[in-house]
Structure 1
Amino acid sequence: MQFLTQSALRTTGGMGKFTKMLFMALTLIGTTLWGTFAVYFGDSHNSIMQTCVAIVFGLCGLATLIGLVFPRWRKRCLTGYAILFAAILTWWFLISPSNDRQWQTDVAKLAYATFDGEKVTVHNIRNFDYRSEFDYQPAYYTKTYDLNKLEGVDLIAVYWMGPAIAHTILSFNFGGNEHLAISIEARKELSEGYSTIKGFFRQFELIYIVADERDVIRLRTNYRKEPPEEVYLYRLQGPLENARRLFMEYMKRINELNATPAFYNTLLDNCTTAIWLNTRINPTHLPFSWKILLSGYVPEYLYESGRLDKQVPFSELQKQAHINDRAHAADLSADFSARIRAPLK
């Protein structure tokens, strides 16, 4: 019996050491990958020095991983690695977002709002005249909206790479053809393309593009071809007071970004998670769900939660919500917003 007990203890101790080593190895791999990418991408721009430092850090991580196998070197390797990683982490947190960069034309101007009681004046509402996706005439306007006339909120879901991922936009309905769309995006500099990976590493500032629907929706339905985008418009269900609070929260956040820029983050602060964060202003906001991370399933999540019309099955509602053909037919019409909604009940 004593022999069996000692054997069991040795087995348990061996499993404990293995688990500890496995945890250290996985932590090393994760932090090395993160640190290498963080240094490589750097503060908005890459350089030869950054690339060299990224390679050196990656090699240090690999050497430390190998050093785990040798008890004599393990502690020294881990200590050296921890010091180097702490230095990179400190540098990382010192990177600051900025509104003062050479921006691409479509994100050059930030919107902002001013308030007079129940009336909100929104400045720099984008309304570009497109000839193609990248050929357009910039234009902006200022408009005053009466909160008492707010009739509801629509969700626009844009798909281009399968059902799991979508770009989501909210549009606030002030009656008739008065809709104000707000698209939360990565603010790109001149000659800079969007990258999902770069979006994890403080490469883009965050921007709330406040736009006329003839701009932000028509761009996606009528002019983006590579790849083409499929656009769906859903009417959200809920108390008007929630819609008013959400609109004011958006305006507050837009003004904050004018004063204090923030970084876009592919996972934590993107077009969909930011919407969810803003909806927390309402006491009946939806709980977080994995379907918010896989943004293409947000309409389905809203349907399941009773925030979309449930008089028809979701598959039928989705067909009704598809607006590409209506947007093509409406195109330059002044009543574009009304026409893309015409068949919606």
Structure 2
Amino acid sequence: MTLSAGPSHSRRWRIAVCLLLIAATAWGALALWYPLHLGPAVRGVLVAGWVALGLATLSVVSRPDTWGSRAARMLLALFAAGFALVLGSWLSLTPQHDREWADDVSRLLASEVAGDRVTLYNVRNFDWRTPTDYTPRWETREYDLAKLVSADLVMSYWMGPAIAHTLVSFGFEDDSRVVFSLEIRKERDESFSALGGLFRKFEQVIVAADERDIVRVRSNVRREDVYLYRLDIPPAQLRQVFRGYLQQAAALQHRPAFYNTMTSNCTTILFVLARQIAPGLPLDYRLLLSGYFARYAYDQHALVPGQTMQALRMRGRITERARAADDAVDFSVRIREGIPGIRRTGEMERTR
């Protein structure tokens, strides 16, 4: 017995509409839950109502005997109107500067540049004892870009091997250092959510910090697994990347922006800045799975040459050295012991 083209065509349309309903219901539930600055009870009611509408529509549309009926058409129209309202509300969300921010992201990085002389305001140098016990300290620091000689890629693993936070630490001839990191600008009592980062839950902020703050808080306080790799990039290009971070920070001062887990995060900003130097850098899945970004940098010849990636990773693991150094004044020296590309302990030699 051969099925007619009509019923088969109708069935395909019904399946397609059901799949769209499922996707739209799930997306709408997340869009209602994450970005809205409402209490959990209110958000729960909104999500429950939206899911109930989606399930009611799906239950009618999915059945062959009611597919195409007046009830199905009415529910689809109601669902479409509701989805348009949710989407419109989500698109109308705007990032803000005036929220009750967590202490570690409460201030925005500002800078003044006069030739090669750079003054950074609001450089973070907290003394961390636990994630909730710390001494806040914000500093003004000056750097001479003519004396910028090196940079290190820092990878901090906090959720398995595929996900890591990416930081860049710039080194100067006088052994001073400053680390740049793009992070979520979380509010008080707020924590990171990868899903929330897809739904305009967080604003973004560029943090400039001392290594004993921003590296140590990850390795020693949050107990993350941290790796450090010397970048093989000429100082002239490093200066471009350094200035690029400052330009991004200045842009955020004038126009706040949402963090996005996939498109605007700690790894993609480095990729964007690097592409200004090397426009041919390819897109790669490791920009999303940031835990593998060091391997991407290695494949693009951005890490020190003459070593296998396995050797760089093994010798670049600084977790234990950081925990042993703790808050020692020579923290930056001690975590670099034995790392390829740094010939003598504490030496900030030119990359090329």
TM-score normalised by length of structure 1: 0.89
Q: What is the alpha-carbon distance in structure 1 between the residues aligned to residue 122 and residue 146 of structure 2?
A: 22
1:63 aligns with 2:61: no
Whether the 8 Å contact between 2:216 and 2:326 is mirrored in structure 1 is yes
Secondary structure of 2:329's counterpart equals coil
Quote the residue 2:349 is aligned against: none
Equivalent residue letter for 1:43: L
CA change 1:47–1:342 in 2 (3 A) is closer
Residue 260 of structure 1, CA deviation = 1.3
Alpha-carbon offset, residue 14 of structure 1: 5.3
Matched, 1:299 2:299: no
Tell me the residue number matched to 1:170: 168
Q: In structure 1, give the amino acid aligned to 2:68.
A: P
Is residue 245 of structure 1 aligned with residue 240 of structure 2?
yes
Aligned partners of 1:176 and 1:338 also within 8 Å = no
Helix, strand or coil at the partner of 1:143: strand
- 1:71-112 Cα offsets, whole Å, 9 max, x none, are 114433222211111111111111111111111111111111
Give the match for residue 199 of structure 1. 197
* Structure 2 counterpart of 1:152, from 143, 150, 153: 150
Kept in 1, the 8 Å contact 2:36–2:43? The answer is: no
Using the TM superposition, give the Cα deviation of residue 185 of structure 1 relative to its aligned residue in structure 2, in angstroms: 1.3
SS in 2 for 1:151: strand
C-alpha change, 1:51 and 1:316, in structure 2 (3 Å) is: same
List aligned pairs for 1:1-345, cutoff 5 A. Answer: 10-11=4-5, 16-68=9-61, 69=63, 70-72=67-69, 73-224=71-222, 228-284=223-279, 286-344=281-339, 345=341
Q: How much is the aligned-residue C-alpha RMSD, in angstroms?
A: 2.2
* Contact 1:177/1:335 (<8 A) preserved: no
Q: Secondary structure at the match of 1:263?
A: coil
- Equivalences, count: 335
Shift of 1:160: 2.9
Separation of aligned partners in 2, 1:50 and 1:330: 45
Q: Distance in 2 between matches of 1:290 and 1:152?
A: 27
1-structure distance, mates of 2:23, 2:292: 28
Q: Cα 1:76–1:174, aligned 2, differ >3 Å: closer, same or farther?
A: same
In the alignment, the residues of structure 2 paired with residue 48 and residue 162 of structure 1 have an alpha-carbon distance, to the nearest angstrom, of 32
CA apart distance, 1:314: 1.3
Shift of residue 251 of structure 1?
A: 0.4
Aligned with 1:281: secondary structure?
A: helix
Task: Quote the offset at 1:32 in angstroms.
Answer: 0.8
> Matched residue of 1:246: which SS?
helix
In the TM superposition, what whole-angstrom CA distance separates every residue of 1:95-153 from its partner, at most 9, and x where no partner exists?
11111111111111111111112222111100011223321111111112222222232
Residue aligned with 1:272, SS: helix
Distance 1:55 1:26 in 2: 20
Whole-angstrom CA distance in 2 between matches of 1:306 and 1:106: 34
Deviates more, 1:316-325 or 1:232-241: 232-241
Q: Percent identity?
A: 38
- Find the aligned partners of 1:37 and 1:187 in 2 and give their Cα distance: 20
1:25 positional shift:
1.8
Whether the 8 Å contact between 1:220 and 1:231 is mirrored in structure 2 is: yes
Q: How far apart are residue 285 of structure 1 and its match?
A: 5.5
Q: Which amino acid aligns with 2:266?
A: C
Q: What secondary structure is seen at the aligned counterpart in 2 of 1:43? A: coil
2-structure distance, mates of 1:42, 1:328: 36
